[in-house]
Amino acid sequence: MPNRIVKRSATLADGRELIYYDDADTRLGPERRIDTRPLEPRPPTAIMRQDVLNGEWISIAAARQGRVVLPPADRDPLAPQTADNPSEIPDLYDVAVFENRSPSFGPALPGDGTGAVAAPGGLADISDLGFGRERVAVGRCEVVCFSPEHEGSFGDLTPSRARTVIEAWADRTAVLSELPGIEQVFVFENRGQAIGVTLPHPHGQIYAYPYVTPRTVRVLESVRRLGPDLFARILETERAGDRVVLAGEMWTAFVPFAARWPLKVHLLPHRHIPDLAAATDAERDELVTLYLRLLRGIDALYEDPTPYIAAWHQAPVHTGRDTVRLHLQLTSIRRDVDKIKYLAGSEAAMGAFVADVVPEETAARIRAAVATPVISDWC
């Protein structure tokens, strides 16, 4: 780990993996308490079913129905354990990553009741189409805790802590990409109750899928039709226009030409890299500065925090790595101070979006907001 960021591995009481990432300027010692909770066995891994109309796979993860919703601070499941709060993380931490207890995609566990359903047999099997097709939802879902604090988001982090989180994202991307059956790794942060967040604790997630996601499949088709330099041409076009909101030596953020959400920003690296694991230390360092400025600018648009989904689109593990470029797509459903864009019939039913805001106007507002970002000492 560069910059003296330290990775420490541990195990939770039911066998799930827990990884600590200590800041370069951490005040924590090297030891961590052991998880001694009396936990029940992990729930069965979910089953995927294929939609015969479009070929997409749906994970049926019934165990997720029992998730905790908006707990008080003293019952926060992502806070360090105390005598009164048997949370998921046994000790103090800077950044912590652990396997989700009720994942959408998980390991093929012995005796989990899925023996009659096969695991995916690779991309050819996944791409096939037929009636009644089921597969075990083999994969991995991890929770990334940005801080031991009860409330906050990535934009509230100090630069040092933000750099640790980015290092954790890159490391987990590399590790998960090597697991058997994984075809794509997705890093993301959901922020705000309006988005559907059930825990105010500052955190994100990482999904490792047993297939290439539908959105990326469409990107691969665009690459096939328009050429392998598609992302380079997008970046060149946007940098020459008036929708750029923030730019550095190695990254550029812009509102895309055909933004479908009232607030949408893409952040692209200037050189081709397939995923976060492929970014250099210099690229990760600059990303800290630009990403914090972007998120704080997004929050400065209104008097209260902006709900968003920050989605890091990465190339699939086994295909398109020379053409699909890592990039952030940050979207918000907020279209004004007191207005939310809900998906109407055309959008929810047919996928035919109608934009409420002109992208150039959105870019101008964000550009002004990131010009004078709010500085935070929170971590």
Domain assignment present for residue 308? The answer is yes
Q: Are residues 163 and 296 in the same domain?
A: no
| C-alpha dihedral sign at 161, 162, 167, 172 | positive
Q: Are residues 15 and 137 in the same domain?
A: yes
User: What is the pTM (predicted TM-score) of this model?
Assistant: 0.95
Q: Are residues 167 and 267 in the same domain?
A: no
Q: How far is 358 from 348, CA to CA, in rounded Å? A: 21
Helices (H), the chain: 123-127, 159-177, 214-226, 230-239, 281-299, 345-350, 359-371
Q: Are residues 122 and 271 in the same domain?
A: no
pLDDT of residue 63: 77
- Contact 106/141 with Cβ under 8 angstroms? yes
Domain boundary residue among 191, 211, 231? 211
Express each pLDDT in 296-350 by its tens digit.
999 999 999 999 999 999 999 999 999 999 999 999 999 888 888 988 899 999 9
Q: Are residues 289 and 149 in the same domain?
A: no
- Contact 199/78 with Cβ under 8 angstroms? yes
Express each pLDDT in 94-120 by its tens digit.
999 999 998 999 987 655 545 679 999
Q: Are residues 160 and 298 in the same domain?
A: no
Q: Are residues 201 and 244 in the same domain?
A: no
pLDDT of residue 43: 87
Q: Are residues 87 and 149 in the same domain?
A: yes
Q: Are residues 126 and 184 in the same domain?
A: yes
pLDDT band at residue 52 under the 50/70/90 scheme: very high
Domain assignment present for residue 376? The answer is no
- The residue among 329, 238, 317 whose CA lies nearest residue 275 is 317
State which residues form the domain around 298. 216-371
Q: Are residues 29 and 91 in the same domain?
A: yes
pLDDT of residue 174: 98
Domain assignment present for residue 379? The answer is no
3 burial type by CB count under 10 A (0-12 exposed, 13-18 middle, 19+ buried):
middle
Domain boundary residue among 176, 192, 211? 211
Domain assignment present for residue 16? The answer is yes
Q: How far is 133 from 195, CA to CA, in rounded Å? A: 31
From 201, 203, 266, 272, the catalytic residue: 203
pLDDT band at residue 64 under the 50/70/90 scheme: confident
Phi, psi of 325 (to 5 degrees): -95, 135
pLDDT of residue 68: 78
Q: How far is 39 from 56, CA to CA, in rounded Å? A: 34
Q: Are residues 69 and 207 in the same domain?
A: yes
pLDDT of residue 373: 53
DSSP string across 55-117:
--EEEE-GGGGG---S--GGG-TTSBP-SS---SB-S--SEEEEE-SS-SSB---TTSS-TTS
Domain assignment present for residue 357? The answer is yes
Q: Are residues 19 and 166 in the same domain?
A: yes
Domain of residue 20, CATH code? 3.30.428.10
- Total domain count, the chain: 2
313 as an active site residue: the answer is: no
Domain boundary residue among 160, 178, 211? 211
pLDDT band at residue 356 under the 50/70/90 scheme: confident
- Contact 243/255 with Cβ under 8 angstroms? yes
- Contact 269/254 with Cβ under 8 angstroms? no
Domain assignment present for residue 319? The answer is yes
Weakest-pLDDT range from 61-70, 131-140, 179-188: 61-70
Q: How far is 43 from 175, CA to CA, in rounded Å? A: 23
Q: Are strands 17-22 and 6-11 parallel, antiparallel or unpaired?
A: antiparallel
DSSP string across 315-329:
--SSS-TTTPPPEEE
